[in-house]
Structure 1
Amino acid sequence: MAPINLKQSPNSAAKSVASSTEARILVRETLRVTANLASPPLDSLPPTTSPAAPHATNLPILDNHFLDSTSRLICCEEIDGRRWNYVADIQPSGKLKNASIRALCLQTPQAPIDEMMSFIRSYVVPEGFPDSVTPSYVPYMTWRALKHFFGGAMGVFTTQTLLNSVGVARNKATPGAIAINWILKDGAGRVGKMLFARQGKKFDYDLKQLRFAGDLLMELGAGVELATAAAPHLFLPLACAANVAKNVSAVTSTSTRTPIYKAFAKGENIGDVTAKGECVGNIADLLGTGLSIMISKRNPSLVTTFGLLSCGYIFSSYQEVRSVVLHTLNRARFNVAVETFLKTGRVPSLQKGNMNERILSFPWLKENPIVLGPRFKDAFQDAGSFLAIEPLFDREKYLVTYNQTKGKVYALLKDQAKSDDIIKAAFHAHVLLHFIRSSSGAQNSNQKQVDAFSSSVPTTTNLEAEIAASCKMVSNSYEIFKSKASEQGWVMAESLLNPGKARLCHR
């Protein structure tokens, strides 16, 4: 039986296609409405985020993410630990409205105390704290704030005393005379600042020592200013001397500020660290000034107040510079590192080496028994002693000897000496000093007792033997010392040993 062919008319086929299209549209609309009804409204979204929530890096538009029938999620964002959703309004036609993006925070608002702490942190600590700074930043800034607190408190009393001494409070002087005296006082301070600025590189060599010495000068200047109350007729000379001392202190503080902040910075955030550090100092200064104003209304004893504030200022200053951890080796830190190595065979860590550095050893005091880069005439008394030890240093860029008359070890540098040669010469000088002390029985390593050390002078023959023995020890131990120092984090490529300018030339 032949198959029956059912032929449809064109109108019937068109109706079938139209009904099929309408059915698909109906199903799609039904699914969309059902999804919108099933999704929670925007206000009922949970305030907390889950690990699966999109991060700020998922920036592409989420085409099918509808929050409700009128809103659509565009993207998510995170800033300072808080997450935000950006949504846009939908027109009835399904298109996004122009300029309709809104930001919705997914976290509950912070408590007022938390908002205040976040505001304060933005002013007093660098961004990324504590990961953006070294661990020594916190103790340094703590002592710095305390020092500025005492300094601000003392400034009220010194200013009040100066004004009384010059005659402002009692109308004992004409305004013109008062202005002239004040201008002369400030002018003398600026002259002192310019003269002291020529110290230059010493601010790098002996940073901590000069910083603490500058703070001592600041207190000395404050004491001289208070002395004008006892001798108002000597206002101008006393005020000028005080201002010179305080301006010299200001030069020291300004010149040593950047190297200290650089030691705290991790990466290229030295500007941020400096700005926040100065902000902390200013806040503490204002607090101290406010407290001092309240105290001054009760007319306290100037001597007692000055004594208490000075003790707090000097103690805070000492702890401030002592808490700084530097990676470079100056004279004081090099002495600690080498002496520890010669006694124990180990190099101290950065923290320990900086903590044991002598802060009260001022650079201008000639008390160090080791002289680096001296003049030839200071090291040798006669030509025979030089010719006897010169062959021992043919392969070196330096020469080490001991002056029996002055009781000091001298490390003379040759004109080809580089940074590593200077460090090696200083190391050799310490080794020779250690040998001489051991052979003479002087076990006390305190470098202040130079007279006791020089009382037992080795003979010329023994001295040559000691120098020869020191050469052998240095050749075996110097590289070991450098390696262990580098392992502890000390920078050995450059040094701040501040050698003299004299160099030995070829004959």
Structure 2
Amino acid sequence: MSLATGAPLEYVEKDQAGKPTKTYVESPVKFGQEHLSRFDVIPHSSSSKGYRTLSSVINAFLPAGYPQSVTEDYLEYQIYDSLQAFSSSIAGLLASRAVLQGVGVGDASASPTAALLLNVLQESMGRVATILFAHKLGSSLEPECKMYRLLADIFNDCAMVLDCLSPAFPRFSRVLIFSTASVLRALCGVAAGSAKASLSAHFARNGNLAELNAKDASQETIISLFGMLVGSIVISHVSTPFSTWLCLFLLLSIHLGTNYAAVRAVTMRTLNRQRANIVVSTLIEHDRILTPEVVSRRERIFERDGVVRWNQSQALAYCQIGCPLEKLLQSLCRDDARQSRVKYATANFGRLLNIFQGQDYILWYDCKASQVFIVLKEGSSVKSQLKAWMHSLLVVHGETSGLPDGTEISFDSMTSKQLEQIRNSLEFLSNRFDRFMETLADAGWDLATAALEVRPGYRLAVGSRSY
């Protein structure tokens, strides 16, 4: 476009959120012998001084470009998260007062050295608990971030209750109480920190993870300030044991209730074990794909580890994905002939291996123990892991639309028919797997992030051994 026709041009300036702030109108004007461009600036009503001031205050606590720069569930989560932080700040003041009483503030016989040693003991136990908890459950924090985000606050609230109980116990018993509370807070720190990191990565859309975390810290700071202000008023009027406990349980109820609402508001797009159960069983049985929003309303916050369910029914079995080969062999040899000097003797592992030739995993279902064992081969991808979990659902459920033999699968003994059933279920899945993946991707599911393994897994390299 140009001004050659004499028609004015319009330029609309927008902020990072896409809202128009000003309009610039360019029109031709003659100044002496020169032809110049004249610009008229038209401010939008939203760019008034009062609006800009309010917008500046809000932008100090929200990511730049909000709401386009975050996911749709960000605001609802942050509202509930702010409410829980507010109630937790007030409850924390009540717990802190109880701790001060427990260590002897106001007691002439109390020793500062004893209080310092108690603090050292608490810190030491907390740090040891942090290392052990991170080692034991570190791999499961991201796939189950919603559960651990809520569990972290349960740990923290239990620690507050112990702190408030401490003045009622003898001085020696308080050491154990304070140490236990310190361990619970350490568990809270690991679970909350890791889960919030995963949630922040989920909320960030435009590579703004660092800024989103910074704004989240600003939100927590202002909420904590308000919480301490209100808490200072509360603790000055709450002094009797009855009123203290009544106030504490009211605040903790609000804290846990808003935390539960916060994690329920989050719509994760990765397929962990529970979400894979819901999505895959519905897809296979009804040929209908569920969106992340629908699955978010159906999933449980607390789910048993490795449970296999079909359409949210009762637990059918338990699955271990990425397990060592030894566990599969132990199960496979249970009803097989055993040689006296051979730990694992089976005539059927070769047949099972042949079924999964060309696949990135090996699967076996022990129906007596209701256990599925999935051994992942070296180089298995995220989609291969998802395929293995789908296969486990088919095998455990025992009947699949489109299978040549839809009878109930039974593995009481290793028979050719049973092995053929595994082969048929794999063939059924392989013929439809690419279409399943395309459908899941179109529905908005993230198929590039691994979320099925919650423990450090093993990988199997298959090859011939030379002597």
Alignment CA distance shift 1:282-1:356 (3 Å): farther
1:376 aligns with 2:312: no
3-state SS in 2 of match to 1:370: strand
Q: Contact 2:76/2:265 (CA < 8 Å) preserved in 1?
A: yes
Residue 139 of structure 2 aligns with which residue?
A: 201
How big is the shift at 1:80? 9.0
> What is the CA–CA distance in structure 2 between the aligned matches of 1:378 and 1:331, rounded to whole Å?
20
Q: Supply the distance in 2 between the matched residues of 1:187 and 1:344 (Cα, whole angstroms).
A: 54
Compared CA separation, residues 157 and 439, structure 1 to 2 (3 A): farther
Aligned mate of 1:337, from 279, 283, 300: 279
2:24 to 24, 30, 54: 54
Offset of residue 502 of structure 1: 4.5
- In the alignment, the residues of structure 1 paired with residue 293 and residue 354 of structure 2 have an alpha-carbon distance, to the nearest angstrom, of 40
- Give 2:110's match in structure 1, choosing from 173, 182, 185: 173
Q: 1:374 to 1:191 in 2, by over 3 A?
A: closer
| Greater Cα offset, 289-298 or 471-480 | 289-298
**Could you tell me how far 1:245 is from its partner in structure 2?**
1.0
Partner of 1:479: 434
Give how far 1:173 is off.
0.6
Match of 1:27 in 2: none
1:290 correspondence with 2:229:
yes
What is the deviation of 1:145? 0.7
In the aligned structure 2, how far is the partner of 1:52 from the partner of 1:170?
66
- Matched letter for residue 419 of structure 1: V
TM-score by length of 2: 0.77
- Quick one: which amino acid aligns to residue 205 of structure 2? K
Contact 2:83–2:258, Cα closer than 8 Å, also in 1: yes
Query: Mapping of 1:350-365 within 5 angstroms?
Result: 350-361=292-303, 363=305
1:317-370 C-alpha deviation (Å, 9 max, x unpaired): 222222222222222222222122122212211212233333212659998612
Please point out which of 443, 447, 451 is paired with 1:496.
451
Q: What one-letter code is carried by the residue in structure 1 that aligns with 2:238?
A: R
Change (3 A) 1:52 1:257: closer
Task: State whether structure 2 residue 152 is matched by structure 1 residue 214.
Answer: yes
Give the distance between the partners of 2:106 and 2:185, measured in 1 at CA: 24
**Other-structure match for 1:320:** 262
| 1:148 and 1:282 in contact (8 A); partners too | no
**In 2, are the aligned partners of 1:150 and 1:288 still within 8 Å (CA)?**
yes
In structure 2, the CA distance between the partners of 1:497 and 1:126, relative to structure 1 (3 Å rule), is: same
Which secondary structure state, in structure 2, belongs to the residue aligned with residue 394 of structure 1? coil
Indicate if the aligned counterparts of 1:412 and 1:504 stay in contact, CA closer than 8 A. Answer: no
Contact 2:148-2:191 at 8 Å conserved across structures: yes
Q: Distance in 2 between matches of 1:53 and 1:214?
A: 49
Which amino acid letter does the alignment assign opposite residue 503 of structure 1?
A: L
1:27-426 matches, cutoff 5 A: 54=24, 64=31, 109-110=49-50, 114=51, 117-198=54-135, 199-233=137-171, 234-296=173-235, 297-299=237-239, 300-361=242-303, 363=305, 369-379=318-328, 380-381=332-333, 382=336, 383-426=346-389
* Shift, 1:187, TM fit: 3.1
RMSD of aligned residue pairs (Cα, Å): 3.3
Deviation at 1:421, TM superposition (A): 2.1
Deviates more, 1:405-414 or 1:353-362: 353-362
Residues 413, 504 of structure 1: 8 Å contact kept: no
Partner residue in 1 for 2:8: none
Deviation at 1:171, TM superposition (A): 3.5
Structure 1 SS opposite 2:168:
coil
Percent same amino acid among aligned pairs? Answer: 22
| Amino acid across the alignment from 1:434 | H
**Would you say the 8 A contact 2:323–2:373 is kept in 1?**
yes
In the TM superposition, what is the alpha-carbon distance from 1:116 to its structure 2 partner? 6.0
Q: Distance in 2 between matches of 1:247 and 1:458?
A: 46
Larger Rg: 1
CA separation of 1:245/1:76 partners in 2, compared to 1, >3 Å: closer, same or farther? farther
Give the drift of 1:141.
0.2
Q: CA 1:257 to 1:62, structure 2 compared with 1: closer, same or farther past 3 Å?
A: farther
Q: 1:284 to 1:63 in 2, by over 3 A?
A: farther
Tell me how far apart the structure 2 counterparts of residues 247 and 408 of structure 1 sit (CA, whole Å). Answer: 34
Distance in 2 between residues matched to 1:150 and 1:240, nearest whole Å = 24
What are the superposed Cα offsets for residues 426-464 of structure 1, whole Å, 9 maximum, x if unpaired? 2211111122698459xxxxxxxxxxxxxx865544533
SS at match of 1:274: helix
Q: Report the CA distance shift for 1:78/1:386 in structure 2 as closer, same or farther (over 3 A).
A: farther
SS at 1:205's partner residue?
A: coil
Aligned twin of 2:341: none
8 Å contact from structure 1 (residues 166, 232) kept in 2: no
Q: The residue matched to 2:141 in structure 1 has which SS?
A: helix
SS of 2:75's partner is helix
Unaligned runs of 5+ in 2: 1-20, 309-314, 337-345, 401-405
8 A Cα contact 1:209 1:363, kept in partner: no
CA–CA distance in 1 between the matches of 2:269 and 2:122?
Answer: 40
Distance 1:163 1:79, change over 3 A: farther
Offset at 1:64? 4.6
Cα distance in 1, alignment partners of residues 347 and 397 from structure 2: 24
Aligned 8 A contact 1:333 1:353 in 2: yes
Count, aligned residues: 406
Matched, 1:427 2:390: yes
* Distance in structure 2 (CA, Å) of the matches to 1:469 and 1:75: 73
The TM-score normalised by the length of structure 1 is 0.71
AA partner of residue 432 (structure 1) = V
**Is residue 23–residue 42 contact of structure 2 (8 Å, CA) maintained in 1?**
no
Inter-partner Cα distance in structure 2 for 1:343 and 1:180: 62
